[in-house]
Amino acid sequence: MSVKLAVIYYSTYGTNDQMAALAAEAARAAGAEVRLRKVQETVPESVVASVEAWKAQADKMAAIPTATADDMEWANAYLFSAPTRFGVQASQMRAFIDSLGGVWAKGGLAGKAVSAMTSAQNTHGGQEATLLSFYTTVMHWGGIVVAPGYTDQCIFKSGGNPYGYSHTMGAEFTEDDKASIAHQARRLVDIAGKLAR
């Protein structure tokens, strides 16, 4: 059985959009069938339009399909990416997760491999807490947490976060950062493939 990976993200200014795209590319190269999906914006359009950079990013992502419960049922693995807001994932991502009660109730989220990535404005802006909060939800689902751990030297070179890749907003993506994202995606595809047998 092949790996069907849903890469589901929220991005305000583009950091998580780039991370999700890099992960999706690496997962495809590893042999997974990938659906790249953004979550629904919950902030009023007038507010988004009032911030030039936010509006520009929303326009850039306009062609990316919006994540649905059907995508969650289709996939046998998930990679989430969302910015940190006060030590947990952005409310837009949380709103999507909170809409999955129907899929969860029939066991549609159980036994699937899950990994997560995040970003924040500074290096101690809550990234690890955000990733752990994702995984708390995964445990409620009965999912299988697939954190990168220290399974490759690239983890150390890109900040050393064993819970999942995290990026400082506004910083350029180095080759080490890209390698860490790709490693996390490949590891998720590998473990998901073993679970799907």
Number of H helices, E strands in the chain: 9, 7
Q: What is the pLDDT of residues 164-192, one digit of tens each?
A: 999 998 899 999 999 999 999 999 999 99
Q: What is the pLDDT of residues 84-102, one digit of tens each?
A: 999 999 999 999 999 999 9
Sign, CA dihedral 147-30-83-153, equals: positive
* Pairing, β 33-38 against β 77-85: unpaired
The tokens for 50 are 């009032």
Q: pTM value?
A: 0.96
As a 3-state breakdown, the chain gives helix, strand, coil percent values, each rounded to 5, of 45, 20, 35
DSSP SS3 for 95: helix
- All domains in the chain, ordered by first residue: 4-196 (3.40.50.360)
